[in-house]
Structure 1
Amino acid sequence: MAKARGWILFPILSISSVSLVVFVVMLRFSGNLPRQSLHFPISSSLEDPSPRSPRIAYFISGSDGDGDRIMRLLLAVYHPINYYLLNLDLRASQRQRERLVSAVLSVDSFAVAGNVDVVGQSGYSNPEGASSLATLLHGAAVLLWHCNDWDWFVNLAASDYPLITQDDFLHVLSFLPRNLNFIQHSDKIGSLESQRMRSVVVDPGLYLAPRRDIFHATQKRSLPTSFRFSTGSPFFMLSRKFVEFAILGWENLPRALLLYFTNTKNPTLGYFQSLAANSREFCDTLVGSDLRFVGDSDSDSESDLDSDSLLGGGAAFAGGFRRGDRRLDWIDGSVLSRRWGRVAPGGWCLGSDTWWSDKCATWGDARILRPGPGARRFERYLLRFMTTNDSSVWTGFCLSDVDASL
């Protein structure tokens, strides 16, 4: 993929609840998207990897002061065959984005592969409003337009960190069907969830740059009868075909759900879950896991630094880490074999691993994966979800199961 890389400058401001649908659809077909004059070319000399090895499109997002954390996370999850789009929302200053770009350009591996980009102009991303959903759709649309040969889309926050190496991750995924969607979801909607779905909220972050807080309408709306709700984690791994379905919307379902969730509180807890579960094409592709460690992520005790607490479950990622959390240093040293300021090494790294020499400064074949103990843990983790008969874990409910259709 020999393209000039470094900045992708697609604004996400001034989007109403209706034009949001048009925006994400038209973005896929736009061949002349706006860019600012500041541009940093990065060459690419990477050959295509073996078809057996999947490619992951990572969307890593953060806010004010998260540039360093995003960079550290990028170094920890980096692999030359993947793609990475980094996003700092509008709460972060332009200076912070420029510093992030400078940090990306300073890593030789990124420059050679040309597979890391930074969103140069973003909008607010309020977790409680539709602006967070717009940010996700925007990132997915950019990755589809910019590099459409990836297999899965993974969204990570600046507070996340991997618990296995990318060689472990890609090795296990290479044996799985590429149409699977890993979404933690449930169709058991309680009274609190029902009230959240019936409430009407407006996120000014979609169209008013200085405004951050959402508005709550006094009136309630009736629950729709043409689709059923599913809720779950705001983090997931989505197949490329499902992302294309959400962005291009070749059926009416993605547009109808998007219009409804635009005025729903915390829409990322339900939009992709409901879209997959109500689609005849995708409801049988659901695996009920977000691939993340579930535990007391705020704890920082010695007992949380052993393999039984963080690694025993076999998840690929964990979230909720605070700035300066010493568990990240432990993961770097004990799990990823990553030295400070360097890329986590993999089978493609052939150099000497010393304090004064970067192992990944010398490249081998990027298609070569050398999985370690993490691959076995991750394999067992996936088998627990993929061999169960629990419909809330393995498959969702199809649109044909409800009384009405769109």
Structure 2
Amino acid sequence: MPLLTIFVLSLIVVLTLSLGHAKFSSGIDDPPPKFSALDRNFDRLGLLPKLPSFAYSISGSKGDVSSVKRLLEAVYHPRNYYVLHLDLEASDAERLELAKYVKSESLVFREFGNVMVVGNANLVTYKGPTMMASTLHAIAILLKKDKDWDWFINLSASDYPLVSQDDLLHIFSYLPRDLNFLEHTSNFGWKEYQRARPLIIDPALYQSKKSGVFWAKEKRSMPASFKLFTGSEWVVLTKSFVEFCVWGWDNLPRTLLMYYTNFLSSPEGYFHTVVCNHKDYQNTTVNHDLHYIKWDNPPKQHPISLTLEHFNDMVQSGAPFARRFAKDDPVLNKIDRELLQKSDGQVTPGGWCVGNSVLGKDPCVVYGNPNSVKPTVNSKRLEKLIVKLLDSDNFRSKQCI
């Protein structure tokens, strides 16, 4: 009964999170919550788990339009929200193509109005702080558009899902809405001298054309007023936490944002350092980025491109996402066919799709209740991973260490 295991573990997590918040009072008289920890996750009458919603940021650059389209189709669900961003290196024609695609009458996006394309694109420098600024911009758009979502997920054009959104919604419906999934550690190792101590300047902060970061001759010491953490830039974060990062009711998010302005690869550390240095959030972390990634070895700095030879390993990992994939690699067709049960140019079908798929028709052109979720057998692998991550041997012992 693995789902029962998730349910029991979730109750334990909810209680320990509640105790953690009670222990570390912020000193501000907060109003009493409208619902108890269990009420906000489970239906009052039947104690059935309430379905969450996800807010996605999907980013790309020049030449990524087709990959962004394909990724959106793969992760689309009417319950979710999506912000698509092609950075300033992409042409206006590419952004226009993406905007027209989202508004196309032949696809369901237009009906639900939950996909947005950033028209005023940001200039993003690889490894520069403008990558972090672009992510925070997407979060701000999603918060302004609608606050009725539970987790923020960032993906790039080279990412792809390994489970359907129905599978993801089903498993996450059993989880406390307080959990932040991000791989993190305070053990910098080689990163101390290649990430933390160097000072860089991102030319995208003052130029209109992309170029590499500038390196200063000086080095800096490790900070004393807060502890640095590093990890994967791919995250699944709660709405509460990303609201704190954007609006910040104390100065920590802004202080760290200024610190990371001159930090190489700031997306690998900003959220991680904020969450682990604040008493309201440091007990909410799950030390996993929910991605399957195959690294070069050594020095494990760049993910290798996944191919058909990695298919079985990525499936058995239980991770809901994987990266990185070359454009239109044959393994993507295999994922579509065997894991997502989707056809080329169509969205991943779910319980909300009630149309006929005979002769290659898109079953989601005719849609029903967006709250109708039909998980597949693939959800069992994700379930197994979540149970492992929430086990007492992995959960508390790997938080902010």
Contact 1:162 1:317 in 2 (8 A): yes
TM-superposed CA distance for 1:300, in Å, is: 6.0
In the TM superposition, 1:392-403 aligns within 5 A as 394-396=398-400
Contact 1:350 1:362 in 2 (8 A): yes
Q: Which residue is 1:212 aligned to?
A: 211
Instruction: Give yes or no for the alignment of 1:304 onto 2:310.
Output: yes
Q: Which residue is 2:9 aligned to?
A: none
Give the counterpart of 1:364 among 330, 350, 368.
Answer: 368
Q: Which residue is 2:222 aligned to?
A: 223
Instruction: Give yes or no for the alignment of 1:345 onto 2:311.
Output: no
Identical amino acids, percent of aligned pairs: 40
Q: d(CA) in 2 for partners of 1:142 and 1:309? A: 36
In the TM superposition, 1:198-347 aligns within 5 A as 198-295=197-294, 298=304, 302-305=308-311, 308-347=312-351
Q: d(CA) in 2 for partners of 1:266 and 1:386? A: 29
Q: d(CA) in 2 for partners of 1:358 and 1:302? A: 26
Q: Which residue is 2:162 aligned to?
A: 163
TM norm structure 2 = 0.83
Instruction: Give yes or no for the alignment of 1:383 onto 2:381.
Output: no
Distance 1:195 1:92, change over 3 A: closer
Q: d(CA) in 1 for partners of 2:325 and 2:210? A: 28
Q: d(CA) in 1 for partners of 2:154 and 2:233? A: 9
**Post-superposition CA distance 1:109-129 (Å, at most 9, x none):** 111111001000112212311
**Stretch moving more, 359-368 or 83-92:** 359-368
| Secondary structure of 1:242's aligned partner | helix
Q: d(CA) in 1 for partners of 2:181 and 2:236? A: 5
Q: d(CA) in 2 for partners of 1:322 and 1:353? A: 29
| Secondary structure of 2:375's aligned partner | coil
Q: d(CA) in 2 for partners of 1:70 and 1:211? A: 21
| Secondary structure of 2:242's aligned partner | helix
Letter of the 1:80 counterpart = P
Q: d(CA) in 2 for partners of 1:191 and 1:301? A: 29
Letter of the 2:363 counterpart = K
TM norm structure 1 = 0.82
Letter of the 2:98 counterpart = L
**Post-superposition CA distance 1:187-211 (Å, at most 9, x none):** 1122432452121111011221124
**Post-superposition CA distance 1:330-381 (Å, at most 9, x none):** 0000111101111110000011112342111111111011001121110111
Q: Which residue is 1:178 aligned to?
A: 177
Contact 1:168 1:372 in 2 (8 A): yes
Give the counterpart of 1:103 among 79, 101, 104.
Answer: 101
Distance 1:390 1:51, change over 3 A: closer
Q: d(CA) in 1 for partners of 2:315 and 2:310? A: 10
Letter of the 2:93 counterpart = R
Q: d(CA) in 1 for partners of 2:80 and 2:326? A: 26
| Secondary structure of 2:237's aligned partner | strand
Contact 2:307 2:331 in 1 (8 A): no
Aligned length: 346
Q: Which residue is 2:75 aligned to?
A: 77
Q: What is the aligned-residue RMSD (CA, Å)?
A: 1.7
Q: d(CA) in 1 for partners of 2:109 and 2:63? A: 22
Contact 1:289 1:393 in 2 (8 A): no
Q: d(CA) in 1 for partners of 2:83 and 2:125? A: 19
**Post-superposition CA distance 1:241-276 (Å, at most 9, x none):** 000110011111111111110100000010001110
Q: d(CA) in 2 for partners of 1:302 and 1:222? A: 44
Contact 2:306 2:323 in 1 (8 A): no
TM-superposed CA distance for 1:212, in Å, is: 2.1
Contact 1:287 1:393 in 2 (8 A): no
Contact 2:307 2:330 in 1 (8 A): no
Contact 1:124 1:212 in 2 (8 A): no
| Secondary structure of 1:251's aligned partner | coil
Q: d(CA) in 1 for partners of 2:87 and 2:62? A: 7
Q: d(CA) in 2 for partners of 1:166 and 1:152? A: 13
Letter of the 1:162 counterpart = P
Contact 1:298 1:322 in 2 (8 A): no
Distance 1:381 1:393, change over 3 A: farther
Distance 1:357 1:370, change over 3 A: same
Contact 2:308 2:331 in 1 (8 A): no
Structure 2: runs of 5+ lacking an equivalent = 1-47, 296-302
TM-superposed CA distance for 1:149, in Å, is: 1.1
| Secondary structure of 1:350's aligned partner | coil
